Amino acid sequence: MDNLPITGLNDLTAHMDALIADPSTRLNAKLFDDIELQLTDANIPPLLTTLLPRLVQILHTTPSDPTTPASLTTKLLRPLSFSQIVSLAPPESLIQALESPFPAANVLAMTILHKAAASPSEVAQLADMQEVVKALVRTWLGSSEVGVGEKGGRVMGDLLDVDCEHEPPARRPQRGQGRGTTGHPLDAGIPTWHDMVVRKEKGEGKLWKRVFADQEVYGLLLDLLAGRHEDTDVTSTTAGHGHGHGQGHDEDAEDRRKEKARQLTLAQGRILRILPRLAALDLEKIARSDLAAPPTPSYYATAEATNGIPQPNGTTSNRPNQNGDDILMNGISNDSQESTPFPLPAPPKQGQGLLHFAALRMVDRNDMLMHLSLIDFFEAFVGLMRVVTPHSEYKVDVVKEILREALLADNDKLLRESLDSLPDRAVDEEREGLRGWLAEVMPVVVGGEERREVVMR
């Protein structure tokens, strides 16, 4: 170790040993930074056995912000593959980092998982780690840190891309390279689909099965998005938090409710941003599912809400009541004195997947910001479906089915206006094609009723 041309290495290892012996020791960030600045791909390998075990232990035990140890760890791991890292640090270490209260540890774990996107076989290796995948889903959707959520979305999207069982799209010259254009059918600053695809070959589909066909993982996903998980459950803030009374107790409960409500909207916004990409990768996997919400009566019993029908607290919901049953708000029945302005969404219908749930049942359209996020989703989804996959009856049917319910059953006039104006915001060469696509998939309303017509292609 003394022969390595790295200044301050002995000081750092001594400091790390002190941190391990007593986690309350003040962390000297400069020692970590000085070593990180000297690392290269050539001198990293001899250091792994010296530094990595110490860093892993410090990341697990330090009560201090681990940003500098996490940054050094990321630099050390740069030359290694996912499988090599897992051989050095067990999956339990990844789970602990994902569950850490410190964003730096979360991002470090996600960076390691992102390495699996280097090949389909490594994504398949990750897919076999059910608890790691569950921790990734929870941290991605359940973290209050915007940077963690954005990182999780990129990681999950790239991993599912590489794992996709379809052949990657053939590369072709970009359109719209002229002045004032974006190269995308929608003038929204989104890269072309071919730029977004990262896989070079067909994947094995194991991570898709883990996320969308594993009851535990898919159930966790739905719970986080529907406000039934502890990270997003607004109802848990109104009761069961001690026996205190008075204004202070009420203010604490209100603060917790707002925190959970914010997290719920963050989770919903994150899934809406990734869904158009997932639909373009494998529409059937997210449009259809043999799984539903967790098979417990309470999940379904507390999920009913009606479209515009007054709720016990005087609010209304734009979520349709699927069964015509009595209305329940967040598990609180009509005769309860408790109230909350956050109606829980109904579970997915039998056979429908995450796409239908997120597009049609997840978002409370009384929340204007979430309604606008939903409209952004529809614009991206409808635009991508036209250009990224071959024209097929199945694709047309799925898009028409979703738009019919969103525009007719839910009577979303703002969404219709936005989609109607979409061609006007497209680049010139895509405008007419987009108008034709919308004419094919959007329901036409005449006299308050849908007019069915055959669109010639």
pLDDT digits (tens, 9 = 90+) for 251-271: 788 888 889 999 999 999 999
pLDDT at 280 over 90: yes
Average confidence (pLDDT) over 288-301: 58
| CA dihedral angle for residue 306, residue 414, residue 276, residue 329, rounded to 10 degrees | -20
- φ/ψ of 123, rounded to 5, equals -65, -40
Average confidence (pLDDT) over 176-184: 42
pLDDT digits (tens, 9 = 90+) for 376-423: 999 999 999 998 878 899 999 999 999 999 998 768 899 999 999 999
pLDDT at 58 over 50: yes
Dihedral sign of CA atoms 226, 228, 233, 236 in order: positive
Q: What is the pLDDT of residue 239?
A: 41
pLDDT band of residue 248 (cuts 50, 70, 90) is: low
Q: What is the pLDDT of residue 406?
A: 92
**Residue with more model confidence, 389 or 433:** 433
Asked if residue 331 lies in contact with residue 344, where contact means CB atoms within 8 angstroms, the answer is: yes
Q: What is the pLDDT of residue 192?
A: 57
Q: d(Cα 147, Cα 144) in Å, to the nearest integer?
A: 9
Closest CA to 141 of 358, 399, 375: 358
pLDDT at 2 over 70: no
Q: What is the pLDDT of residue 105?
A: 95
Q: d(Cα 146, Cα 136) in Å, to the nearest integer?
A: 15
Tokens 């330090």 sit at which residue?
Answer: 62
pLDDT at 453 over 60: no
Q: d(Cα 198, Cα 160) in Å, to the nearest integer?
A: 10
pLDDT band of residue 293 (cuts 50, 70, 90) is: low
pLDDT at 321 over 80: no
- Token pair, residue 358, equals 């997120």
Q: Calculate ∠ Cα 353-359-364, nearest 5°.
A: 125
Radius of gyration of the chain (CA): 25
pLDDT digits (tens, 9 = 90+) for 123-140: 999 999 999 999 999 999
**What's the gap between Cα 51 and its chain centre?**
33
Instruction: Give the percent of the chain with pLDDT over 70.
Output: 75
Q: d(Cα 141, Cα 221) in Å, to the nearest integer?
A: 8
Q: Calculate ∠ Cα 272-275-280, nearest 5°.
A: 150
Average confidence (pLDDT) over 80-93: 92
pLDDT at 334 over 60: no
Q: d(Cα 40, Cα 38) in Å, to the nearest integer?
A: 7
**Residue with more model confidence, 278 or 347:** 278
Classified as helix, coil or strand, 236 is helix
Q: d(Cα 288, Cα 355) in Å, to the nearest integer?
A: 8
The pairs formed by 191-200 with CB atoms below 8 angstroms and a separation of 24 or more are 193/169, 193/280, 193/384, 193/387, 193/388, 194/169, 196/277, 197/161, 197/168, 197/169, 198/117, 198/158, 198/161, 198/162, 199/120, 199/161, 199/162, 199/164, 199/168, 200/168
Closest CA to 143 of 229, 68, 34: 229
**Residue with more model confidence, 127 or 189:** 127
Q: d(Cα 352, Cα 37) in Å, to the nearest integer?
A: 51
- Token pair, residue 297, equals 């009566």
Q: d(Cα 113, Cα 110) in Å, to the nearest integer?
A: 5
Query: 211-225, 315-329, 334-348: lowest mean pLDDT where?
Result: 315-329
- Token pair, residue 367, equals 């929340």
Residues recorded for the chain: 457
